[in-house]
Structure 1
Amino acid sequence: MSKILFAVTPTVGHVNPMLPLGKHLAENGHEVFFQTSDLFASKVEATGMRFVPLLGNANYDYHKLGELIPELRTAQPADQTLIYLKHLFGDRIPDQYRGLEQTIAEKEIDLVITEVLFLGILPLLIGGSPRPPVISFGVTAPLWTDPAFSIFSGPDTTPEGRIRNIADNNQFLAARASGHRYVDGILDRLGFPLPGGYSLNTQYRLPDTFIQLGAEAFEYPMEDRPANLVFSGPLLPKATAPTKTPEWMNRLDPSLPLVLVTQGTLANFDFDQLVNPTLTGLANEPVQVVVTAGDSKSGKIISTRNAIVESYIPYELVLPRTSVFVTNGGYNGVQQALTYGVPIVSCGASEDKPRVAARVSWSGVGIGIKDGVATPQKIRGAVREILDHPRYAERAGSIGAEIAKVDALQTISRIVNETLARTGATYA
């Protein structure tokens, strides 16, 4: 029996994609430990995995990010990216690494599985001491750079385009340089200086294998593709029991297009960023609007005659009936919409969200609002454009068909077993 440790940032968008994989590996004979915050303990244990709490300041409740990092409450979306890098991800490195070391030693771990923003894995990868192999997963939009594309606007392989690509990518990295230096300082103090310094490319190239949980057709072609990179397709949560149809779904008019709106699980301090402009813009349109408010107070959301607001929306029930998905650009939500062939309006300015919007536009599955600023006019215009022109739904359906052809769990299981076989770990 092989012993596998999952080490995962304790937010929904990072934990949820990992749960079905851990459950699958546990059901197939591995002893699986899942290290994240206490908030997810019952969810982890319900899958048959063994929960291990993160230590110290790594064990936080993401519902209280505004208390944990007060700057987030007043920061503009574009400024939140650096705050997250420094204080949500960087500041957790020492305690994340301490927990990793302890668990690897105590449980005699054969393989570590982590995700792209669990930066506590970096000292393990840098250190040079004997360690288990590490497989990392991309649960967010890729932030890697490559000469074949501009991270802002996508691929352009013309001579002029390549020059612009390199300039754009350097600008992108320079804007995050203070965050990179901050992470370097933490690694230096821990005794793990990174040759050449940390950058956003680091977390993709250092793991033994990096698996991006998304459709390859949604991603830009690369010129300098890392040898360790694999695309598996999205790994979406599976319902453990039939989901009961909510009462409000029975009130939907099947003759009207349904617009599903979400502002994600982290960037929902201020619903004026996306939800309220969308509701205002669509208030007099011949559509039905369904809003998922997450864990925030829905009282901050305006009321319109054609909208239903719920704290939780069963995507597997609503997306098959959805005509347009309006999102702040959460990567997993976009992948889930594409699985059902739903075209997308993407508008977000923090974290990886501008990169998602750029891919939405480039791939033809919808409209990405470039500046990440939602206004009623922009959202109404984008929704109308998608409803009036079937090419967006056709392209989203095409990528959905590609996703249906791949079995992410099967692909990942094969890589896990091959990795364990190479390192001599046993499989029961």
Structure 2
Amino acid sequence: MVRVVLAAIPMPGHLIPLLPIGRHLVENGYDVTVLTSEALEPLAGDIVNSPRGRLHPLRGKAAFDGNRILAEFPVVKDTPAGYRQVIVAPQEMFIPPIPEQFRAVQEVLEAGDPATTVVIHEGFFHGTWPLLLGAPGLRPAGTIGLGVSVLTLEDPRLPPFGFGAAPDLSAPGERRARDLRDRLHREFEPVQKQLDDVLAGLGAVDRAPYYWDSFSLLCDTFFQLSPPGLEYERGSLPEHVELIGRPGSPATAHFDAPPWWNDVVTADRVVFVTQGTLNNENHGALIGPALEALADSDALVVATFGGRPVPPDLVVPANARVISYLPYDMIFPHTSVLVTNGGFGGVQAALMAGIPLVVAGDTEDKPEVAMRVEHAGAGINLRTGLPGVPAVRQAVERVLRDPSFRSRAEGIRDEYRARDPLARIKDEVDRMASSPRAGRRQAGHGISGVLGLPGR
């Protein structure tokens, strides 16, 4: 019997993309272990409570509270918006949990047959990296990495992940990309050393590639959960890296419509505004300016707060409706444009529905997401997380007026529809589970010969 481990750091936006995969595998007779924090168990309830599913909880530093990131990691909170965040976040959030993640992976492998176990992990879960770098321990039949953010793998012609810079393949553009990459790598050296030290402490014999490259290099197969139309053109990708699109989410089973829902159903145009579920405490960053900017619009404006209560001091114009939360599959069929802070999950959900966007985000990966929307022609990137009222108004009016944005968004929607990521992942699981190298115990044999990595 093939067993699959779904591993994610304890942040909802990182676990949620894995859940359709888990459901599909359980329905097809696979045993599935979800490896994340106990706090997120309710999100995976239909998987872990099924006869073939279970939860293996992360412990210690690996079980941080992903719903309170800014409180859990004040250094990240205090880091100014911009590329410094892609230096500080690994240092504070993503590298320290590796030992506990590694131990949890070993515990799961010891509880069954490693030779028929495949580990599927989202890119920010690094608990399999030590094994691939030669650390002693049980090794599964294979590891599949999933890109739940934009593709972070560097290309010599493109700006590095973190700056949110537009690609420019001219000679000056490539020189600028190289300068940005050199600058980032110099400043990243202490974090890379931190990563090396943590991995060496677990017995790794090879050094990891550059941290943000490791997401797609330190796995047997890497599936980027987005289509080519949402990524930059690249000279080439490693053979084991593939863009497969994103699995769809199940339809909302029960929807308690708010009293004003008929206004949405009958409106000619609806502008949906959200600041997502992460870093959304300050509604004045985007929701407030958007409500003010569109107060005189003939469109109906609907704003949600990512599950947080609607602020009592919020000024709500006559043409606006506000609510704590709305399921995307309920509001998107009526949405003309999405105004968002650029969370990758929400942006992808909109594009899967063919909805153009106005994006205003400057924290985490949001500048990179926003620039990809701009580059794809599917929306407008305001290039700030604190847009002014005129900028929001002009951007929304332009997207509503210019049909090219919706046309391009619908083109990307068609790319999603043309792909079957669940079938592709299942096929790869089957291939790995039948591999003759499955389950061998690592004892100082890393992947330096494959990737040309330096030994220690």
The SS at the match of 2:361 is: coil
Greater length-normalized contact order (CA 8 Å, ≥ 6 residues apart)? 2
Which residue is 2:62 aligned to? 58
Which residue is 2:28 aligned to? 28
Task: Determine the C-alpha separation between the residues in 2 that align with 1:393 and 1:120.
Answer: 40
Deviation at 1:315, TM superposition (A): 0.4
Contact 2:277 2:307 in 1 (8 A): yes
Deviation at 1:330, TM superposition (A): 1.0
Task: Determine the C-alpha separation between the residues in 2 that align with 1:242 and 1:389.
Answer: 35
Which residue of the other structure, out of 281, 299, 304, is the alignment partner of 1:287?
299
Which residue is 1:316 aligned to? 329
* Superposed CA offset, 1:249-284 (max 9, x none): 223373442111221222113223222222222223
The one-letter code matched in structure 1 to 2:62 is A
Contact 1:173 1:199 in 2 (8 A): no
Task: Indicate yes or no: 2:128 matched with 1:116.
Answer: no
Task: Determine the C-alpha separation between the residues in 1 that align with 2:237 and 2:108.
Answer: 33
Task: Indicate yes or no: 2:394 matched with 1:381.
Answer: yes
Which residue is 1:94 aligned to? 99
Task: Determine the C-alpha separation between the residues in 1 that align with 2:10 and 2:362.
Answer: 22
Deviation at 1:196, TM superposition (A): 6.0
Which residue is 2:45 aligned to? 45
Which residue is 2:149 aligned to? 140
Which residue is 1:77 aligned to? 81
Which residue of the other structure, out of 213, 224, 233, is the alignment partner of 1:201?
213
Deviation at 1:422, TM superposition (A): 2.4
The one-letter code matched in structure 2 to 1:67 is A
* Superposed CA offset, 1:370-406 (max 9, x none): 2444222221121111111111011111111221121
Question: How do residues 288-367 of structure 1 correspond to structure 2 at under 5 angstroms?
Answer: 288-299=300-311, 302-305=314-317, 306-367=319-380
The one-letter code matched in structure 1 to 2:324 is S
More off after superposition, 331-340 vs 171-180 = 171-180
Q: How many residues get paired?
A: 426
The one-letter code matched in structure 1 to 2:128 is I
Task: Determine the C-alpha separation between the residues in 2 that align with 1:214 and 1:282.
Answer: 31
Deviation at 1:343, TM superposition (A): 0.4
Which residue is 1:218 aligned to? 230
The one-letter code matched in structure 2 to 1:35 is L
The SS at the match of 2:226 is: coil
Identity of aligned residues (%): 33
* Superposed CA offset, 1:74-126 (max 9, x none): 44333544442222212211211111111111233411110111123321221
Deviation at 1:135, TM superposition (A): 0.3
Contact 1:73 1:269 in 2 (8 A): no
Task: Determine the C-alpha separation between the residues in 1 that align with 2:324 and 2:99.
Answer: 34
Deviation at 1:318, TM superposition (A): 0.7
The SS at the match of 1:200 is: helix
Task: Determine the C-alpha separation between the residues in 1 that align with 2:313 and 2:127.
Answer: 37
Shift in CA distance, 374/385, structure 1 to aligned 2, threshold 3 Å: same
The SS at the match of 2:247 is: coil
For structure 1, which runs of at least 5 residues remain unmatched after alignment?
A: none
Which residue of the other structure, out of 186, 195, 207, is the alignment partner of 1:183?
195
Which residue is 2:174 aligned to? 162
Task: Determine the C-alpha separation between the residues in 2 that align with 1:423 and 1:348.
Answer: 46
Contact 2:352 2:416 in 1 (8 A): yes
Give me the TM-score of the superposition, normalised by structure 1: 0.92
More off after superposition, 45-54 vs 21-30 = 45-54
Which residue of the other structure, out of 138, 154, 159, is the alignment partner of 1:150?
159
Contact 2:122 2:146 in 1 (8 A): yes
Contact 1:215 1:232 in 2 (8 A): yes
Contact 1:45 1:51 in 2 (8 A): no
Shift in CA distance, 234/172, structure 1 to aligned 2, threshold 3 Å: farther
The SS at the match of 1:119 is: coil
The one-letter code matched in structure 1 to 2:237 is R
Higher helix share: 1
Shift in CA distance, 246/423, structure 1 to aligned 2, threshold 3 Å: farther
Task: Determine the C-alpha separation between the residues in 2 that align with 1:75 and 1:150.
Answer: 21
* Superposed CA offset, 1:127-159 (max 9, x none): 254511110100111222202323444443333
Contact 1:143 1:352 in 2 (8 A): no
Deviation at 1:246, TM superposition (A): 4.1
